[in-house]
Chain A
């Protein structure tokens, strides 16, 4: 049996930042990850990370917090937002002093670029590979502190004893053994769940693992109806073209060659917040001003030199997928599923309602993003709240007693997996995944209405039941059984999708990324509350609105860009 004081599930930015913080504090910490840490999807983040350094224009953490609260359509908890924006400059400096390769100004300070919904240029970056360079910096710190990483271990279940978290059960992919990993504090940093949709900017590995595990362990999931659709993803494969393109001055054009964004956001145009730009692009396409179901991202006027220096990756990604070179051709793009503002409910310290269980990054919902996240705030959230969750976990383990291993959970998990492996007929997880992808993409997209959302809720419940009843795994091998791992991922994704669809159906208003055509207005009187979803075996989740939004400085007002 494996035992550590603190165990971090997930090796992306939030997970590694948490592990490094715990290691710096001298805690016995380990990472458990289904991939090598440098494979994590944080590395695909392109545009940058926000901090009010004020290096190129006047800026303050308070301005950053206001932009974030406004971007959240006033659903973000402002105490957490203020804490994040206050900590941001310190965290960027922390990364820089550990060798992070940020782009620079001529005087040697960190460069900052404009981003959507931001009042000043406050996005620090490294060309368009910001996620990758931060991912590498944190992995380097793991090497420095010799943090133990259980690589290619897939977590399957949360262990609790007497209402206290005691670790996880994990499947060792190298030999097919289930193992008990006992810990006084467990931090979930497992990223997003884009794979519930057919087209997403997310990689194959973004499958709601931590979310599903915590949900089953009795932790509520919050605000899942708020799904961010990124305005500029490639039609061919859903791959992201960074907001940095628009930050550097790219235009969005419709079939008439018109810069349509100023119709929707007279002041900010292309640099309005993402929910606004996605709705605008989709409206243009729906009203017949698209080209083959897309609008165009035009970089041509930026010039070859600037594109190659600042946006080389997205130029190559577009070239590989479409054969079009952004230097001399506009690239067809459309909105695609990108990010879940919701996640495992935590307080502003990263703690969940279950003692000993923490969450950070996209897997968590603090909530700093509310109904819509600003570009550049997701990397920031991983760093700030990864460190915070670890700090509080380290304090917690000093007080908490020893924990005993949950043998019964291990046994239950072994039975669950053996059940799937012993069956030779039924339905395979990829088929159910395809059904889920279809209903989510058709019925829970940018514009929503009661009829479609009901259809999604019904479909998902059927898929849930079919999975529980009929699923089987074709590969029986004990070596690197990804067929089994994918089945567990789909299992978690179905739960997450049910939270999205049920939350969206119940919330009868339009706010941020939730746009209801049947309830087009924001309703502050009734809906300044978070959606909490509690799992009910084989049924739709139970929704609860007991958590009110925390307002500190900025009362909700009309939101325009």
Chain B
């Protein structure tokens, strides 16, 4: 047994103008989880401490919260791994959500992201009275398995810096869920799904890998990359700045061995997109004044052939 001091964010949206903090001390075995400690604190010390929990075995996704500033499942975090020398553990609600009470947040924006993606199988044939299962190879099913492990705990959504600056971004979890249908051979709406996810700002993902910190190893970042790749392979929304940006970066590096920034900007915005170009002109002028304007044309680096060989060996025939 050891004394754990839970330093908890306290707030009630109905009555509190600002949040405050309480420290609650409980005696628990240090092998116990942060959720166990919270549960003990609520049962024995202060019944008003509020948090969501259900399964306590990392499968229901209820108890995601910030523990010492890092989002994760309280039921999967042993106290001993997070308490400091004084036994203190700091507990806060998930960021990127509006707090409701203590560690409980308003989850609606997170669920709305799923709803927009029509998260249900839309088979090509609509006849639903079948005698037998559809045949799906183990390999095709295996592609879906990692994404299927998602418990919708919203840890990745809370950790996502893009969501924090632009709440219209679908967020990692919903994109991973979309992937689960996009890659399902039984689904008949692949292109429509890709178009929708492009509308939901798929390309805002900055590939920072924050969402790779996933309690269930779903690794939503890899699924985002998969969805982006599928968008290009399927030729969906190719007039969108996202795919255009990806392709022109690819093209200039292959051509010169370097990032040709001028060409990338033109390629992303579009040479004939007068309004788009006009919008970035002030930036270009300021960059030119500061001497930061990249040269309009680049000479290929020495041994650019080696770069091209790398590209060729990586390119998958489609």
Contacts and interface: CB of A to CB of B under 8 A. Distances in A.
A477 interface: yes
Given A41-B54, A43-B60, A44-B55, A479 B115 contact: no
Interface residues of A, number: 65
A126 B57 contact: no
B70 interface: no
A493 to B, nearest CB: 14
Given A99-B120, A483-B42, A132 B151 contact: yes
B135 A103 contact: no
Contacts of B104: 480
B13 A107 contact: no
Contacts of B36: 237
A96 to B, nearest CB: 4
Interface stretch (B123-131, B162-170, B241-249, B269-277): B123-131
A474 B46 CA distance: 8
B44 A140 contact: no
A141 B53 contact: no
A313 B59 contact: yes
B237 interface: no
Interface string A254-271: 000000000000000000
A40 B132 CA distance: 29
Given A101-B145, A129-B148, A106 B44 contact: no
B56 A239 contact: yes
- Interface size grouping (class) on chain B: 35 or more
A537 interface: no
Contact of A101 (B78, B115, B134, B141): B141
Interface in B71-112: 76, 78, 100-101, 104, 107, 111
A142 B57 CA distance: 25
Contact of A475 (B13, B48, B138): B48
B31 interface: yes
Interface in A179-220: 203-205
A317 interface: yes
Given A96-B134, A143-B120, A39 B60 contact: yes
Nearest to A139: B119
B59 A97 contact: no
Given A144-B120, A477-B12, A93 B60 contact: no
A430 B120 contact: no
Interface string B133-168: 111111001001100110110000000000000000
Contact of A479 (B13, B111, B128): B13
Contacts of A98: 120-121, 128
A316 B52 CA distance: 22
A352 to B, nearest CB: 27
B135 A480 contact: no
A93 B135 CA distance: 11
A104 interface: yes
Contacts of A35: 52, 54, 60, 62
Nearest to B39: A204
B52 to A, nearest CB: 8
A483 B48 contact: yes
B149 A479 contact: no
B236 to A, nearest CB: 21
A102 B186 CA distance: 13
A94 B121 CA distance: 12
Interface string B181-221: 10010110000000000000000000000000000000000
Contact of B123 (A97, A313, A475): A97
Interface string B1-24: 000000000001111000000000
B55 A203 contact: yes
Most interface-central of A35, A144, A204, A474 (chain B CB within 10 A): A204
Most interface-central of B52, B59, B148 (chain A CB within 10 A): B59
Contacts of A476: 48
Nearest to B187: A99
A104 B148 contact: no
21 contacts: A35-B54, A39-B61, A41-B60, A43-B55, A44-B60, A97-B130, A101-B145, A102-B133, A106-B137, A108-B134, A108-B137, A144-B118, A174-B100, A203-B60, A205-B54, A313-B59, A428-B43, A430-B42, A430-B43, A434-B43, A479-B14
